[in-house]
Amino acid sequence: MLEYEEGRTELKSLGKFALVERLTDGFDKHQSNTLCGVGDDCAVIACHDQLLTLATTNTLVEGIDFDMSYTPLRHLGYKAVAIAISNIAAMNGTPQQVMISVAISNRYSVEALEELYAGIRLCCNRYDVDLVGGDTSTTQSGMVLTATVIGQVDKHQITYRSGAKNNDLICVSGDLGSAYSGLLVLEREKINFIANPKEQPDLDSYDYVLERFLKPEPRMDIVQFLHEKDIVPTSMIDVSNGLASEMLLICQAGHCGCNIYEEKLPIDYQTTRVCSEISKNMMPVSNALNGGSDYELLFTIAQSDYDKVKESREVHIIGHITDGDAVLVTPQNTTIELRAQGFQNNDD
C-alpha cells in the first residue's frame, strides 16, 4: 500500500468546498499584489492605483457536468464561457479576456470542435470578451473543457463573499430552481427515449427551463444596474450550487446568520410545473434552495440602499442578515435550518 493510502479519507466525505479548503490550507502568499487567492469567486490581483485584476477558472467534465446525449456543442461552448464570466460578475467586475483549454478524445471530429468554438465565440461577442489563448490536449474518453476568464473592477466597487453585516438586506436576481428543472426534464426524456427510441422527446413548452440549464446567462445586467444606482453590495456570490449553499458561504465568510423568507423566493411557473410533473412530493422551494446552476447573483446591501432596488423587477429582497443562525422562515413563521444540500461536485 502506498504511504498516502494509510488513513484514507474518501473524497465524498468532505464535499467540494471542504476539500478545496483542506488542499489549499498552508499555502503562503509570496506576491504583495495578490490581494485575494482561494476562497472567493475570483482571485484578486492589484494592478493599478484604482483598478484590480480578477481571475477565475471553471472546468466542465463530460459525464459529470454535461451529457452529450442532450447537450448541443454550441450551447456547451457558450455555457463554459458564461459560467466563468458569472464569477467575474459576482465580484462586481467586468470580464475582458478568456482562455480556453480542451482535452478531447478521438470520438470528436474537427467539425464538432468548430461547433463548440462557435458557441464560445457567440458568448465572447455578447459580453465583449477577447479569446487570448488556452491549450488543447487529448484524453482517452470524452471531453474536458476549461474556461479561464480575466476581468477588472474598480477597487472601490470590489465585492467579496465576506462583508455582510447585521440587518443588511439579502437580494437575489432573476428566479431560482429553473436550471435544475430544465435538467430534470432532459433526464426524464432521456430515460423515455432509451426505453422507446422511436418516441421523440417531448420538449414543447419547456423552452425557458431548458435554456436556463443548457445556455445560462451571466447577470452582467445586474452588475450594470448596481453601478448605475451607485450600490456597492456588502457581499456577493453567484448561485451555482443552490441558494442554501451560497447563502451559507456568505454567512461563513461574514461570521453572521440570516433569515430567508420562503414566500419571498422568486420561482418561475415552469419550475413549479416541472416539480408537479416529476413527483407530487417535489417542492419548488427545494429546487430553489438546492438545485444549483442558476448563475443568478445573491448579494447583500445596506438598508439605506433599499429605495434604489425596491422597484426593480429583476432584484428580489428575500431576507436579511442576523447575528443568529442561518434559517429559512416558512409562511407559518417557523424556522428551518439552512443546509448545503446542493450538488457538491458542480461547477463553482
pLDDT along the chain (348 residues), means of 10: 64 71 73 73 86 96 96 98 98 98 96 98 98 95 97 96 97 98 96 89 91 98 98 97 95 97 97 92 93 96 97 97 98 94 46
* Confidence (pLDDT) at 287: 93
Number of domains within the chain: 2
Amino acid at 205: S
Q: What share of the chain is helix, strand, coil (3-state, %, to 5)?
A: 35, 25, 40
Q: What is the DSSP letter of 176?
A: S
Asked if residue 189 belongs to a domain, the reply is: yes
Asked if residue 25 belongs to a domain, the reply is: no
State whether 148 and 195 are in the same domain.
Answer: no
Q: Which of 252, 246, 220, 240 is nearest to 92 (CA)?
A: 220
Report phi then psi at 27, rounded to 5. Answer: -75, 125
The SS3 call for residue 217 is: coil
* Confidence (pLDDT) at 206: 96
Outline where 12-65 has alpha helix (H). 16-24
Q: Which of 121, 154, 187 is the last residue of a domain?
A: 154
CB atoms within 10 A of CB 108: 16
Amino acid at 254: G
Q: Which of 318, 216, 335 is nearest to 265 (CA)?
A: 318
State whether 132 and 43 are in the same domain.
Answer: yes
* Confidence (pLDDT) at 257: 98
148 bridge partner residues: 57, 99
CATH number, position 120: 3.30.1330.10
* Confidence (pLDDT) at 10: 78
* Confidence (pLDDT) at 348: 42
State whether 138 and 208 are in the same domain.
Answer: no
State whether 329 and 180 are in the same domain.
Answer: yes
Asked if residue 4 belongs to a domain, the reply is: no
Report phi then psi at 197, rounded to 5. Answer: -60, -20
- Domain of 44, in residue numbers: 31-154
The pTM score is: 0.91
